[in-house]
Structure 1
Amino acid sequence: MHLEKQIREMAFEQGWDYCGFADLTEHHGYMEGFCGAFIRRFPRAVSLAMRLSDAVVDAIAGQEQDKILSFHNYYYYAVDYLQNNGAVKIAHMIERSGWLAYPVPASYSVYQNRKAGLVSHKLVAGLAGLGWIGKNGLLLTPENGPRVRLCTILTDAPLRAGKPIEPACGTCEICTRACPAGAIKGREFISGEADDYLIDRNKCYDFMEKRKKDWGIEIERCVCGLCVAICPQGKTRGNK
């Protein structure tokens, strides 16, 4: 319990708005299919989420080039930089306490064919009870919807795990209808299965690549973010 309190306090000091703990053991088989037996060294994980600026997210609803590029720099460089540095510090503290700790970089693809990272941050966050995976394929928190960025620290520390939250998208199809790439399929998340049935990643990726070409820019990703901006679960009161 003492370590849990230390982790939470350090997480909030580093700027995170959410901190939870996940039990990965029942999902090791699924996760091993991606990152190998390595994952079995870590029965637990720390899930961390940082709330995004409403003003920045709201500004991309119009899909204007200058706002999109500003969002890209905020999203991938500023927020992820803070998370990655903070995760290293927390992992170091966990290891000083005698446990293994593996900080997984925020939003960094290592499996190019799947366009995915070492582990699914949103799956871990869902297991930790920080939110649920919505029809848009994103983690939706009760307070801020998808307007968060996620980070994960794998560990063998015996942390008390949270409980998953039931999905609350219901009959809402706003993201499905609005997706300019036609990538969102409008289906409910099923725990323990690959989420290809939620999102067509290739359509999303191709849309971003075409946008880069049309705009004549050279960045690794030209993120759209519309599914984040329009989700009613996270919209600010003045924009609902």
Structure 2
Amino acid sequence: MERRENFQKVKNFFDRKLAEIGYYGIIGAAEFKGVYDALMPVQKAKLEDICGERFHNFIMNGSFICIGIAFPEYAIDCIDARLSDGTIDKDRWNIYADEYNKINGFLNAIAEEIADIFGGIPIQATIEGVKVKNVKEYYGMTISHRVVAENAGLGWRGKNELIVNEKFSCAIRFASIITDLPLIHGRRVEASCGECNACLEACLFLKNKDKLEDYREHCRKYILELGLKAEVCGKCIKACYRNSIFRGKFKLK
């Protein structure tokens, strides 16, 4: 009963924050050890460093709170926008980039508040201002919110490697909070993409990810070449939302 009541208190707070900013979102909790065990070795080391002396207690009794905020529909439709001559409409695409930055800011602020009020350690939605020579350099800089979201039951891992939520597609950003507050935990959701390949058809790198040495590095370089206001692309997200087998079920604000 205590775990359920605690989670409801956190959820009520998060719902109030969503109402204040006018966005849709989701929240869940996952067992700390389950998340830790699912991380790649370099991220396990990072998590140990983040937790410091509290790591042993978190392994025994800890949880991750996972919060997600969904993009508004108009921003998703700005992805890969084209002018009448077929060239990229960078101004419209930057509307999506602006929302990406805005949502990250909301998530980071709310994660800080949850950590302060309920006790815990916030992990930001994204790493700002970091320059790397290869995508692999990112891996040890934070922990995977996608792993947290999976273990919290907030969606399944899609073929584009993003979390697909049953309401919001993969048009959602996440942040996390580590806590020893007793909470109920979600259960992993069974992958449901089936034969749908909408995201793969939208991206040459994803479509050939099994043939490329590291498709993520190709993706990173493409994003840099786009030169948008944020290091984003989003074509696979738009394809999932608009063209996937679940397009009639997804609903953004």
TM-score (norm 1): 0.79
User: Does the 8 A contact of 2:150 with 2:189 survive in 1?
Assistant: yes
Which residues of structure 2 form unaligned runs of 5+?
19-23, 83-88
The answer to whether the 8 Å contact 2:10/2:114 transfers is yes
Contact kept, 8 Å, 2:149 with 2:163, in 1: the verdict is yes
- Aligned: 1:48 with 2:67: yes
Q: Unaligned stretches of 5+ in structure 1?
A: 96-100, 188-196
Larger deviation: 124-133 or 155-164?
155-164
Q: 1:5 aligns with which of 2, 5, 8?
A: 8
- 1:118 and 2:142 matched: yes
Deviations 1:100-152 (A, max 9, x none): x1111112267953434511111101110111110101110011110111111
Cross-structure match for 1:31: 39
Distance 2:247 2:185 in 1: 29
**Amino acid of the structure 1 residue aligned with 2:164:** L
Structure 1 residue ranges (4+ consecutive) displaced by more than 4 angstroms after TM superposition: 109-112, 184-187, 233-239
Segment drifting more, 58-67 vs 160-169: 58-67
Query: Residue 173 in 1 paired to residue 192 in 2?
Result: no
The alpha-carbon distance between structure 1 residues 157 and 198, as it changes in their structure 2 partners (threshold 3 A), is farther
**Share of identical aligned residues, percent?**
22
CA contact (8 A) 2:209 2:215 kept: no
Q: What does residue 205 of structure 1 align with?
A: 220
**TM-score, structure 2 as length reference:** 0.75
Match of 1:150 in 2: 174
Instruction: Read off the aligned partner of 2:138 and give its amino acid letter.
Output: K
Conserved in 2, the CA contact under 8 Å of 1:50 and 1:149?
yes
- Structure 1 residues 149 and 184: CA distance shift in structure 2, 3 A: farther
Q: Could you say which residue in structure 2 is the equivalent of 1:228?
A: 237
Q: CA RMSD in A?
A: 2.8
The count of residues paired between Structure 1 and Structure 2 equals 217
Contact 1:80 1:107 in 2 (8 A): yes
Distance 1:142 1:30, change over 3 A: closer
Is 1:67 matched with 2:95?
no
